[in-house]
Amino acid sequence: MVFALIGNQNCGKTTLFNQLTGSNQHVGNFPGVTVEKKEGFIKKKRFPHNDKISVVDLPGIYSLSPYTSEEVVTRDFLIHGNIDCIINIVDASNIERNLYLTLQLMELGRPMVLALNMMDEIRQNGISIDIDKLSDELTIPAVPISAIRNEGISELIDKTIETANTNAAPQRLDFCTGAVHKAIHALAHIIYDTAETKGIPLRYASTKLVEGDEITMNALELTENERDIVGHIVSDMEKELGTDREAALADMRYEYIEVLCKKVVTKTGDSKEYVRSLKIDTVLTHKFWAIPIFLGIMMLIFYLTFSVFGDALSSLMSMLIDSVTMFTENALISLEVNETIRSLIIDGIFSGVGSVLSFLPTIIVLFFFLSILEDTGYMARVAFVMDKLLRKIGLSGRSFVPMLIGFGCSVPAIMATRTLPSERDRKMTIILTPFMSCSAKLPIYALFSAAFFQENQALVMISLYIMSIVVGILYALILKKTIYRGNPVPFVMELPTYRFPSPKSVIIHIWEKAKDFFVKAFTIIFMATIVIWLLQSFDHKLNLVHDSSDSLLAMIGQFIAPIFTPLGFGTWEASTALVTGLTAKEAVVSTLAILTNAGDRETLKLLLPTLFTPLQSFAFLTFSLLYMPCVAAMAAVKREIGSILKAAGIMAAQTGIAWIVTFIVYNVGSLFV
């Protein structure tokens, strides 16, 4: 069996998916977390006597009118996918708005179950829903659940299986009256045979024709004469109602929902969460104070991460790695392992991978704080606040979500641009997202700020992040005036009520970041350290060298170094580190550890001043911040843009901007140092 899980954004869909399948999908309290459909199987303990019940988690949408890539993915799967039953998850605390999608899903005529989520919240707020009456009115089963508390999930599975086995489709598809009713039914008579032949649900197809949906018209292969008839019928409806076609359909649905909710929902007042959220938002979304408060929160997070918890924990991690390295080295000496092999293992692999791993606690602490902000619903407010600013550079607040994800990793951030409704906005956001500083660069920042700016680590860190945003804004203004002229699309976004973050969700988020870091450390960085050690240990005739400045790596670095000389760090060591950083940004740290023969993080911090002055180190940080992303992100850009030449152009432009900004930083800084 295949169950399709569908609902509005931020209704608890991914939480339910995790409960059903045991998947570790991260749950974010802001829209746009699910970009592609995800598939999992219902856990054995949920339904032990069936091996294969598949659940497909579709992107959250508000309507079956496809304006964005996510809506197209969802609609195509719901119409043409091999689905046994639809599970429509509805936020019961906001049932009026959520039922708008429910009515459209019912028009598909597929077996369907309504999952009323967050029932625990509405009970606490004195709201009651007559589940039986709601089910009778809609002619589909309705099951009360609380996905986050794992309540009602087994009952939902049982009811969904029963509905799928009996193939019980909704019996009531007609919610309209008056002119809309006449238009839909007139069109249904015209397309009856064609819709049946094409396998498109009749009621759904008729409604879409009233809406003027070009995709449906093309799918039905309407003749010019039939299109004219559709136009006349819709025009008559608009004249009678005095409104346009889309507003007529929306009014029809909301009028029915209003009548339905009066029958089944009993409210004693606004929920506590809603009232509490309004009070908090008077401060956090204030016209003048919202952005300063956001910057203040981020500065506090950076201070706690890099000056309090993260640095101390990273030092402990470094001590642990040192102990393992020393034990391994002593074991290799006692086993009389060849000195060259011993150098590869200790000076190459352990030094390179270990120097990167020592920063893992810092990354975990940072994402602990960020996941809390995300899960409470605060980040959705930031997107709302940023909309006004982003419009001035040619984007909408919706672009903030991919950019925000970009502070974690550029690859999912670039993929998240698929949620943007405008092709112009999408391409601009793809170009700008790599300017946002991803978490892979954190080990570079942490290392250099600890080595050169011990007293002002948090200040250096926040200055780098602000610099990336400012440069991104300036580049966006250039794009807006040149390649991507025009205005951004309107931005509509639901602000979720503030909620206490789920410990499970926070742990999953941290685990995902830690796992990604481990995987990268023991795959890409592991291979990179071996290659770097080999290039550093041998010359072009493959003779073992005693001075790394005579090595093959030094030759490559010296060839590239002149490019960086005007930026203040024209040494072959710095040049080489930046090149290896294209495999993974953490490789910059591991490369420097190998090149300086630093056995651990603390030693590397002490050795860096032999390669850089404080000003040169800040210039190096600036270039590391802004130059082209890793190969994985480059591949994501190529995949989303659809052209390797355009992707290469984007990367070249970004690196050129990095060079110019670093040149300015270094030369202006030289005037004061």
Helix, strand, coil abundance in the chain, percent, nearest 5: 65, 5, 25
Q: Is pLDDT above 50 for 397?
A: yes
Question: Would you state the torsion angle of the CA atoms of residues 268, 272, 273, 274, taken in this order, to the nearest 10 degrees?
Answer: 60
Give the pLDDT confidence score for residue 306 in this predicted structure: 74
Q: How confident is the model at residue 35 (pLDDT cuts 50, 70, 90)?
A: low
Give the pLDDT confidence score for residue 461 in this predicted structure: 85
Give the pLDDT confidence score for residue 511 in this predicted structure: 83
Here the tokens at position 548 are 């790394």
Please tell me which residue, 173 or 29, carries the higher pLDDT value: 173
Q: Is pLDDT above 90 for 566?
A: yes
Kindly give, in sequence order, each residue whose CB lies less than 8 Å from that of residue 491, ignoring residues fewer than 6 positions away. Answer: 387, 396, 397, 398
Per this entry, what is the length of the chain?
673
What share of the chain has pLDDT > 90, as a percent? 22
pLDDT in tens, 50-106: 567 888 888 878 888 766 666 777 888 888 888 999 999 998 888 888 999 999 999
Q: Is pLDDT above 50 for 454?
A: yes
Q: Is pLDDT above 90 for 615?
A: yes
Q: How confident is the model at residue 657 (pLDDT cuts 50, 70, 90)?
A: very high
Please tell me which residue, 499 or 136, carries the higher pLDDT value: 136
Q: How confident is the model at residue 132 (pLDDT cuts 50, 70, 90)?
A: very high
Neighbours of 271 (CB within 10 A): 20
Instruction: Report the alpha-carbon distance of residue 420 to residue 491 in Å, rounded.
Output: 10
Instruction: Report the alpha-carbon distance of residue 671 to residue 673 in Å, rounded.
Output: 6
Q: Which of 189, 210, 160, 182 is nearest to 46 (CA)?
A: 160
Please tell me which residue, 449 or 458, carries the higher pLDDT value: 449
Strands 265-266, 128-129: pairing is antiparallel
Q: Is pLDDT above 60 for 579?
A: yes
DSSP state at residue 59: P
Q: How confident is the model at residue 599 (pLDDT cuts 50, 70, 90)?
A: low
Here the tokens at position 535 are 């290039």
Average pLDDT, the chain: 85
Instruction: Report the alpha-carbon distance of residue 425 to residue 430 in Å, rounded.
Output: 9
Give the pLDDT confidence score for residue 30 in this predicted structure: 45
Q: Is pLDDT above 60 for 46?
A: no
Give the pLDDT confidence score for residue 29 in this predicted structure: 44
Q: How confident is the model at residue 413 (pLDDT cuts 50, 70, 90)?
A: confident
Instruction: Report the alpha-carbon distance of residue 225 to residue 228 in Å, rounded.
Output: 5
Give the pLDDT confidence score for residue 211 in this predicted structure: 87
Q: Is pLDDT above 50 for 31?
A: no
Arithmetic mean of pLDDT, 430-451: 89
Give the pLDDT confidence score for residue 49 in this predicted structure: 56
Q: Which of 583, 559, 585, 582 is nearest to 572 (CA)?
A: 559
Q: What secondary structure does DSSP assign to 348-394, as a single string?
A: IIIHHHHHHHTTHHHHHHHHHHHHHHHHHTHHHHHHHHHHHHHHHTT
Q: Is pLDDT above 90 for 111?
A: yes
Q: Which of 492, 465, 469, 342 is nearest to 10 (CA)?
A: 492
pLDDT in tens, 508-557: 878 877 887 778 778 877 888 888 888 888 888 888 887 777 888 888 88
Here the tokens at position 86 are 């639809």
| Backbone dihedral region for residue 135 (phi beyond 0: left; psi -120 to 50: alpha; all else: beta) | alpha
The DSSP bridge partners found for residue 3 are 55, 85
Kindly give, in sequence order, each residue whose CB lies less than 8 Å from that of residue 47, ignoring residues fewer than 6 positions away. Answer: 53, 157, 161
Lowest mean pLDDT among 201-205, 348-352, 361-365, 492-496: 492-496
Give the pLDDT confidence score for residue 402 in this predicted structure: 79
Q: What secondary structure does DSSP assign to 211-264, as a single string?
A: HT-HHHHHHHT--HHHHHHHHHHHHHHHHHHTS-HHHHHHHHHHHHHHHHHHHH
pLDDT in tens, 330-350: 999 998 888 889 888 888 888
Q: Is pLDDT above 60 for 33?
A: no
Question: For residues 432-457, b (16+ Cβ closer than 10 Å) or e, as one string?
Answer: bbbbbbbbbbbbbbbbbbbbbbeeeb
φ, ψ dihedrals at 41, nearest 5°: -110, 140
Q: Is pLDDT above 70 for 607?
A: yes
Q: How confident is the model at residue 193 (pLDDT cuts 50, 70, 90)?
A: confident
Reported pTM: 0.68
pLDDT in tens, 255-282: 999 999 999 988 776 667 778 888 998 9
Arithmetic mean of pLDDT, 633-637: 86
pLDDT in tens, 316-335: 888 898 899 889 989 999 98
Instruction: Report the alpha-carbon distance of residue 404 to residue 522 in Å, rounded.
Output: 27
Neighbours of 276 (CB within 10 A): 14
CA distances, 499 to each of 124, 132, 281, 433, 512 (Å): 14, 29, 13, 28, 22
Whether 104 contacts 246, CB under 8 Å: no
Q: Which of 510, 436, 515, 493 is nearest to 29 (CA)?
A: 493
Question: For residues 331-358, b (16+ Cβ closer than 10 Å) or e, as one string?
Answer: ebeeeeeeeeebbbbbbbbbbbbbbbbb
